[in-house]
Amino acid sequence: MAAVTVLGTTFNTTSGTHTVTATPAVGDQIIIVTASTGNVSAAIPTDNQGGTYTTIVSALGGAGGNRMMIHVRNQLIPAASSTIFTHAPGASTGGGLCVLKATGMSRIGVAAAKQSAKEDNQGGGGTPAPVLVAVPVSTNPIIGAVFNGTSPATMTPRAGYTERADVGYATPTTGLEVISLDSGEASATITWGSASASGFASSAVELDASPPAPIMEFRTPQVM
């Protein structure tokens, strides 16, 4: 069964590039949540093991002036060595990244994500509740994130979910919460356990923990 844990989070008011240094295991599937204020760049993260990434979902907050994204690595981790994960969106008023790993995954890149949902530019006082197209497969992990104007984000995770990050900075006042569930989701609506005191963006991704379809081998019949 697939399982999600956090490798590390960096989130602060420093402009531009942020990094997380961590040591994943061979075969880990990496998922990175990035968020920046004062910047709507669609820049994709990188790492110094040569990984490339695909963006699965992107949500806007702060009246469209801030962006949060969830990305998946296009290759499983090849070596259990100290790795620098980097997001470089350009000049910003702050931001960072939360690096997660999923074990027990065989699908990679865009195939590792079965579906996603988001909410853009939601007003304060609302409860984050991105709606997936379909009810998730019960054995698939779910990752969710809220990007708001409170420091830290100070959200209550959805029932049954584990909080992986609840961080923030003061200038401008900003928060990021990341949650995950390994299995058992029975609703297409991923509703948090509390309202956000400030305006927010939210997103959710269902990972695909099923094995890849078998490759069929076709052979030309031999004439006897």
Structure confidence by residue, pLDDT tens digits, 66-76 = 999 999 999 99
**pLDDT of residue 213 exceeding 80:** no
Query: Is 111 within the bounds of a domain?
Result: yes
- Give per-residue pLDDT as tens, 165-184: 999 999 999 999 999 999 99
Query: Is 220 within the bounds of a domain?
Result: no
- Give per-residue pLDDT as tens, 105-163: 999 999 999 999 999 999 999 999 999 999 999 999 999 999 999 999 999 999 999 99
Max CA-CA distance within the chain? 79
Encoded tokens for 89: 């969106």
What does the alpha-carbon distance between residue 36 and residue 24 come to, in Å, rounded to a whole number? 24
pTM above 0.85, yes or no: yes
How many other β-carbons are positioned within 10 Å of the β-carbon of residue 73?
26
SS3 112: helix
Query: Is 219 within the bounds of a domain?
Result: no
pLDDT of residue 212: 74
Query: Which residues, 6+ apart, have CB-to-CB distance to 151 below 8 Å?
Result: 168, 169, 170, 173, 174, 175
pLDDT of residue 202: 98
Query: Is 65 within the bounds of a domain?
Result: yes
C-alpha closest to that of 94 among 30, 28, 12: 12
The sign of the torsion formed by the CA atoms of 102, 20, 54, 28 equals negative
The confidence band for 1, taking pLDDT boundaries of 50, 70 and 90, is: confident
The confidence band for 95, taking pLDDT boundaries of 50, 70 and 90, is: very high
When divided into structural domains, the chain yields a total of 1
Q: Residue with structure tokens 């079965």?
A: 114
Residue 140 is given by DSSP the state S
Q: Environment class of residue 181 by beta-carbon count within 10 Å: exposed (0-12), middle (13-18) or buried (19+)?
A: buried
The confidence band for 223, taking pLDDT boundaries of 50, 70 and 90, is: low
Query: Is 222 within the bounds of a domain?
Result: no
SS3 206: strand
Find the mean pLDDT for residues 78-99. Answer: 98
Query: Is 212 within the bounds of a domain?
Result: no
Residue 27 is given by DSSP the state T
Query: Is 176 within the bounds of a domain?
Result: yes
Query: Which range marks the domain in which residue 175 is found?
Result: 3-207
Residue 8 bridge partners (DSSP): 99
Query: Is 215 within the bounds of a domain?
Result: no
Angle at 212 (CA atoms; ends 210, 214), nearest 5 degrees: 130
